[in-house]
Amino acid sequence: MTQADWESWIDGWYAQLRQPVRTGVSPLAARPAPDGPGTTTQAPRVLVFAPHPDDECIVGALPLRLHQEAGWQVINIAVTLGSKQERRAERWTELSAACDVLGFDLRLLSVDGFEQVKPDAAEARTPLWQEQVRLVAELLAAEKPALILVPHAGDGIPTHIGVHLLVTEALRQARASTVMAHTEFWATQPAPTALVETGRRDTALLVRALACHHGEVARNPYHLRLPAWMADNVRRGGELIAGPGEAPPDFAFGTLYRMTRWVDGAPVGDLPAAQFPADVPLDTGKLLGG
């Protein structure tokens, strides 16, 4: 290929990234914030602890596949609705639409979401922090999730790190047993153990859901860049999981997680490293170390 050929190829990337940001589906009718006891379904449950509305889409590859391929119930826990009070009602509407696209249930643990979910609040052990830990511990005890998704301990943004601290403290308080999938977005984690592929349809579904967050993608078009991030996950994950110098899997798009087993409120070790191609039904036993 000539230089002109390569520049033409790059022009295609520019065209993708410069398209209008308000693409995708429009928000559906806002759903009321749920209250009362949780669902009575007997399907295994996944709780996605999303620091902000839109995180459920960015890290949603694994719960989406579990829901579609294994019939698991996915409940997105909207930990916060963002720091801007004037945007919270709109963000709830956007989040409702995104979860409808993905087939996820949606729950708030307080009327406007949690406040001050930050490392300094955890360190100071403020009364608000302790009350929020208690609410999450009650949720874990009631739902008994088979899997939870939580940002890893160094995920860059204070609220992401705060959610990690919040949920791990609640796990200890509830003496819960589950598998934690550590997620990443703002900072990579050094030792992921699972690379989960999404095919063309599911990757497009995640982008479509992320586009529902109109206010956020107008500020920063995450949805247009999500496929590139997922492609780079394959570059990193191929060698981090299979081993240095190994050929990466033949995936176009993937999401990385670190899978850690918790027993009676304490982490007992990471699960064996594994890759999960999209053309093979998800092996939940292998995924959860069963």
Supply φ then ψ for residue 267, to 5 degrees: -70, 135
Distance CA 286, CA 101 (A): 27
Within 10 angstroms of residue 114's Cβ, the number of other Cβ atoms is 25
Q: Is 132 left (phi over 0), alpha (psi -120 to 50) or beta?
A: alpha
Distance CA 55, CA 120 (A): 22
pLDDT given for residue 21 in this prediction: 62
How many residues comprise the chain? 290
Distance CA 172, CA 195 (A): 27
pLDDT given for residue 22 in this prediction: 55
* Residue among 14, 208, 31, 21 at smallest CA distance from 102: 208
CA 124 to chain centre: 27
pLDDT given for residue 27 in this prediction: 44
**Tens place of pLDDT for every residue, the chain, 290 residues?**
888 888 898 888 888 878 776 544 444 444 444 433 334 468 999 999 999 999 999 999 999 999 999 999 999 999 999 988 999 999 999 999 999 999 999 999 998 999 999 999 999 999 999 999 999 999 999 999 999 999 999 999 999 999 999 999 999 999 999 999 999 999 999 999 999 999 999 999 999 999 999 999 988 888 999 999 999 999 999 899 988 888 889 999 999 999 999 999 999 999 999 999 999 999 898 888 87
pLDDT given for residue 248 in this prediction: 84
User: What is the fold of 42-287?
Assistant: Rossmann fold (3.40.50)
CA 104 to chain centre: 12
pLDDT given for residue 289 in this prediction: 83
Secondary structure (H, E, C), the chain? CCHHHHHHHHHHHHHHHCCCCCCCCCCCCCCCCCCCCCCCCCCCEEEEEECCCCHHHHCCHHHHHHHHHHCCEEEEEECECCCCHHHHHHHHHHHHHHHHHHCCEEECCCCCECCCCCHHHHHHCCHHHHHHHHHHHHHHHHHCCCEEEEECCCCCCHHHHHHHHHHHHHHHHHCCCEEEEEECCCCCCCCCCEEEECCHHHHHHHHHHHHCCHHHHHHCCHHHHHHHHHHHHHHHHHHHHHCCCCCCCCCCCEEEEEEEEEECCEEEEECCCEEECCCCCCCHHHHCCC
pLDDT given for residue 15 in this prediction: 85
pLDDT given for residue 29 in this prediction: 41
